[in-house]
Amino acid sequence: MRPDMGERALPRIGTLLVCMLAGAFAASATDAQAPVGWTASVDREVAPGVRYLELERGEVADAPRWDVVVASSSKQSAADGWVWRVLAAGFEPTVLYGSGRYEIRVIGLADRASAERTRTRLSELGAPEPPKIVESAQDIANPGGPWVAHLLVADPGAVEVRALHARDATFGQETTTSIARRHGALAAINGGFYLPEDDLAGDSAGTLVVAGRLLSEPDRGRGTVGFYREEGRVRTIFGRPTWSAIATLASGDQIAIDGIDRRRRRDEAIVYTPEFHRRTLTEPGGVEATVVGGRIVAVRDGLGGSEIPADGFVLSVGPARSGEDGIELRVGESVSIESGLASRRDDPGEAWSRAESAVSAGPLLLAGGEPVGRPELEAISQVFSRARHPRTAVGVRADGTLLLLAVEGRRPERSVGMSLEELTALLEALGAVDAVNLDGGGSTAMVVRDELVTTPSDARGERENGDALLLFPAPEP
């Protein structure tokens, strides 16, 4: 990633749509109406204080356009490089994603002659293959859409929000529909990023808090949304939380903890809790201490795969760390662990330490009513940000009203998806002052009263994800 990415002023993407959305709708505290330019094809009450809307906008293109294809790559870092080259040449790049590849184009040229002139200039960028001219009709880059979005608007005093992992574990996968049905939720959306292909598939790739317990630590400072109840209302917090954990032995020696309930690397110390699995699933090497009641009851050296006690945890130290500083783990020795989430932004009242539920993906989209627009701060690529994908997001209005949003995509005749800038503009139009992007693409899903209301972009249907955010009626006072 370019070291100066954070200093460059990026041209706006989807400028026409963004300008039409921004400021088009001044939402009052409890409004659940469509923004200007959108039509609500469905508008119904899910439960007292919760409304569901299906929103539509745009139309299928009725005329072709001329594009110049500059380059394509399956690697986000390489595709990002072409985005910067096209920008430096004075053109606005458009990113199309399909079949696992990012294609960089300059689109919407007036005629073949304009396309030829543009191709000539772009040929100087030195792509592996010469830029080519294509005549495009309806595709996901069509400036006029169409779009289909699904919106849940919830009174913070009427609901409870819970993050739940697939199969009620720390890894494994399950559809959002299945999670919602099993728990009897009013509604649900998919949650954060997760490992898609691994023997720990479904393990959250970032912060996950379930019922007040941290099951996965933050990843690269990525945007996170958390929830807790206070004075009979859901409080929603957004940020890029950090996490620290220290294990202290009776001798006073300390071990810095690198993570919780995930794969251990050779140079890491990981804590495994009963939520993870029956065993640590670690490879041989290193040392593992089983802790019950604050004391080490067993030590396994070089074996891995320790059994996790139902009333304790396992401290697993990789082989590159196990001899560090002469620290030795002994049966009978006491062990205490101090850990906690904190925010990189203002965190009044240590709000993150109060989070009962939290999921992470990123990037942050809105903060204090202003677009954030800095995905590189969260190790998120330009092509991921600029490409139109199905998107899922959580936002909140100034009065605390919750907005859960799912935008369909990758189906050009129905919905083309959104770039992150377009998604941010829609959230602003809905009245959000803070918002974060969640996992999207084939993961995007919204369930209302046991019904999947989004159209999956995967050909095989609804994807099995790692976790989800669920809405329930507020608990009785």
Please give the Cα distance from 77 to 81 (Å, whole number): 6
For residue 200, which of 167, 226, 178 has the smallest C-alpha distance? 167
Q: Report if residue 256 sits inside a domain.
A: yes
What integer pLDDT is reported at residue 410 of this predicted model? 96
Question: Any residues with CB less than 8 A from the CB of 385 and at least 6 apart, and which?
Answer: 363, 375, 419, 420, 421
Q: φ, ψ for residue 99 (rounded to 5)?
A: 55, 35
**CA torsion through residues 120, 14, 40, 223, sign:** positive
What integer pLDDT is reported at residue 344 of this predicted model? 66
Q: CB–CB of 441/462 below 8 Å?
A: no
Burial class (CB in 10 A: 0-12, 13-18, 19+), 326: exposed
In this structure, the answer to whether residues 325 and 349 fall within a common structural domain is no
Query: Coil, strand or helix: which one is 383?
Result: helix
Which tokens hold the place of 117? 């002139």
pTM of the model: 0.91
What integer pLDDT is reported at residue 18 of this predicted model? 52
What integer pLDDT is reported at residue 31 of this predicted model? 61
Please give the Cα distance from 307 to 30 (Å, whole number): 50
Q: Report if residue 188 sits inside a domain.
A: yes
Please give the Cα distance from 386 to 12 (Å, whole number): 10
Please give the Cα distance from 233 to 249 (Å, whole number): 40
Query: Coil, strand or helix: which one is 265?
Result: coil
Output the DSSP codes for 147-198.
EEEEEEEE-TTTEEEEEEEGGGSSS--EEHHHHHHHHT-SEEEE---B-SSS
In this structure, the answer to whether residues 333 and 349 fall within a common structural domain is no
For residue 339, which of 168, 215, 469, 205 has the smallest C-alpha distance? 215
Question: Any residues with CB less than 8 A from the CB of 127 and at least 6 apart, and which?
Answer: 70, 71, 82
For residue 301, which of 313, 285, 312, 320 has the smallest C-alpha distance? 285
What integer pLDDT is reported at residue 336 of this predicted model? 96
Q: φ, ψ for residue 200 (rounded to 5)?
A: -115, 30
In eight-state DSSP terms, residue 334 is: B
Q: Report if residue 141 sits inside a domain.
A: no
What integer pLDDT is reported at residue 347 of this predicted model? 54
Residue range(s) defining the domain that contains residue 254? 243-340
Looking at 81, 115, 136, the residue that finishes a domain is 136
Please give the Cα distance from 251 to 248 (Å, whole number): 8
Q: Report if residue 311 sits inside a domain.
A: yes
Please give the Cα distance from 331 to 348 (Å, whole number): 41
In this structure, the answer to whether residues 175 and 307 fall within a common structural domain is no
What integer pLDDT is reported at residue 152 of this predicted model? 99
Looking at 340, 363, 382, the residue that finishes a domain is 340
Per-residue pLDDT reduced to its tens digit, 183-223: 999 999 999 999 998 889 999 999 999 999 999 999 999 99
Q: CB–CB of 35/26 below 8 Å?
A: no
What integer pLDDT is reported at residue 342 of this predicted model? 85
In this structure, the answer to whether residues 230 and 260 fall within a common structural domain is no
In this structure, the answer to whether residues 285 and 396 fall within a common structural domain is no
In this structure, the answer to whether residues 452 and 324 fall within a common structural domain is no
Q: CB–CB of 146/416 below 8 Å?
A: yes
Please give the Cα distance from 425 to 431 (Å, whole number): 10
Q: Report if residue 171 sits inside a domain.
A: yes
In this structure, the answer to whether residues 232 and 304 fall within a common structural domain is no
In this structure, the answer to whether residues 13 and 104 fall within a common structural domain is no
Q: Name the E strands within 220-334.
A: 224-230, 233-239, 242-249, 254-256, 259-260, 269-272, 287-292, 295-301, 312-317
In this structure, the answer to whether residues 105 and 213 fall within a common structural domain is no
Per-residue pLDDT reduced to its tens digit, 43-55: 999 999 999 999 9
For residue 152, which of 180, 192, 193 has the smallest C-alpha distance? 180
Low-confidence spans in the chain with pLDDT less than 70: 1-31, 324-325, 344-349
Looking at 340, 370, 392, the residue that finishes a domain is 340
Q: Chain-centre distance of CA 131, in angstroms?
A: 33
In this structure, the answer to whether residues 233 and 247 fall within a common structural domain is no
